[in-house]
Chains A and B, each alone.
Chain A
Amino acid sequence: MDHKGVFEALIEQLMQLPGVGRKTAERFAFFILKMPSESAKKIATAIIDTKEKLFFCRVCNNMTEEETCRICQSSARDHQKILVVEEANTLAAIEKSGEYKGLYHVLHGTCSPLTDHEGGNAAVKGLIERVRNESNPILEVILATSPNIDGEATALYITRLIKPFGVKVTRIACGVPAGSDIEYADEVTLVKSLEGRREVYS
């Protein structure tokens, strides 16, 4: 392989990443070319480590270096609550807030008639197994899928499947974003926020 071949191969590989087109891939490739060997090796090693040492938790599908993730193993967590998210990065965001103490279930996608996305289906089966498992009774399943049609469809689908087990199913609130001006909210957002209103206690 000549120099152009090596460089071209790098560009092609980078283009596999989501949102990276030819232009961006070229920019990245030139950057890598100019960066110290040490730093470039670190990137390569991190990618290899991710693929070799990281797995999806066999209980909740979260990223883990062991068979079962740290959250599922923790006795400090509330094992009667499961919060369902589409992607692991949502889980990370919720963990950062430190407000939630229960367990998770990561779908790695949605199950909606719109997307034909089958990815989420296996994960939904896993969720049903967890709800069914009587040795560890689940009291509440919180659906934190996105408030768009795919996320709503997924929430409706999961609700339909797990309600028969007598579990409390809740949906995260949807409405006016914190820190924004209410006058800029569209009608759907306003209606949703009215539906999800709650009593104010003094």
Chain B
Amino acid sequence: MSHLSTEALVLSTLRLGEADKLITFFTLTRGKIAGVAKGARRFKNRFGAALEPFTQCHLVAFEKTQNKLVRINQVDILHSFQKLRDDWDTIELGTQMARLVLRMTPEEQPHPAIYHLLQEALAFLETGLDRSLSFILFMVKLIEECGFQPQWTICSGGTGHGGGTTFSHREGGILCDRCATRDAASVGISADALQFLQTVSAADFRSGHSQSPSILVKREVETLLRDYITYMIGSKKRGRW
């Protein structure tokens, strides 16, 4: 039985058995791991509010060799992100962020950049002014970190054409007028949306917030990214994970 001690973000919690919880964390040093918190649902338990989703904590756990699940020993809150849980909209957006990380990352593969991205995105949700922009930027950066970076600048038709008018999930990028027929399922993309995506792809998550896209552009980009992610992770429910 080896010992695990790391910073972590709580992605999800499920009821397990009579009084336990099954928690999935994204940890700084070990990536996504799941663990059992014994007695965590009892009225008086040693975990308190530390295992609520979004919580940034320090996690101490024991690893069982025959079992993938770790046994959670101690959890100390570093930042609770409690404000996110006091508002339906931030619960919804935060949950979707956590769910995306849950769905898009493999188990036990360290990926500190994703850890820091999620932490920063939750912080922006908590204090930021434009939550829907934060959510869009989070999707853009998570897609990149997961290795699904779409081609936003030149046509993915492979012919070296510049520019694009449609976006193809299958080709993972934009297609120009001439190549659009290559993928009948490709969807139209406006010049403004494309411009926005090119700009924020070149920027990091934080500096992407200096952009102020119109509501229409945000709506278009959000739908496009949701559908692309749905395609990439093979989810049956469109735009829900």
* Chain A residues within 8 Å of B, Cβ to Cβ: 18-19, 112-114, 148-149, 152-153, 156-157, 160, 177, 180, 185-189, 191
Question: In whole Å, how far is A23's beta carbon from the nearest beta carbon of chain B?
Answer: 12
Is B43 touching A177 in the complex (CB atoms < 8 A)?
Answer: yes
CB nearest neighbor in A for B98: A114
Question: In whole Å, how far is A87's beta carbon from the nearest beta carbon of chain B?
Answer: 12
B residues in contact with A19, CB < 8 Å: 17-18
Q: Which of B44, B48, B50, B86 contacts A152 (CB 8 A)?
A: B86
Q: B120 near A: Cβ within 8 Å?
A: no
Q: A113-B95, A149-B13 known; 6 other A-B pairs, CB under 8 Å? A: A114-B91, A149-B52, A157-B88, A186-B48, A188-B49, A189-B48
Is A156 touching B44 in the complex (CB atoms < 8 A)?
Answer: no
CB nearest neighbor in A for B93: A113
* 6 closest A-B pairs by CB: A188-B49, A186-B48, A19-B17, A156-B88, A19-B18, A113-B92
Question: In whole Å, how far is A34's beta carbon from the nearest beta carbon of chain B?
Answer: 24
State in angstroms the CA–CA spacing of A178 and B43 once bound together: 10
Q: B80 near A: Cβ within 8 Å?
A: yes
State in angstroms the CA–CA spacing of A187 and B96 once bound together: 25
Is B88 touching A114 in the complex (CB atoms < 8 A)?
Answer: no
B residues in contact with A152, CB < 8 Å: 85-86, 91
A residues in contact with B50, CB < 8 Å: 186, 188
Interface string of B88-116 (1 = CB under 8 A from A): 10011001100000000000000000000
State in angstroms the CA–CA spacing of A190 and B164 once bound together: 54
State in angstroms the CA–CA spacing of A137 and B96 once bound together: 38
Count chain A CB atoms within 10 A of each CB in B12, B48, B86 and give the residue with the most: B48
Is A112 touching B91 in the complex (CB atoms < 8 A)?
Answer: yes
A residues in contact with B13, CB < 8 Å: 148-149
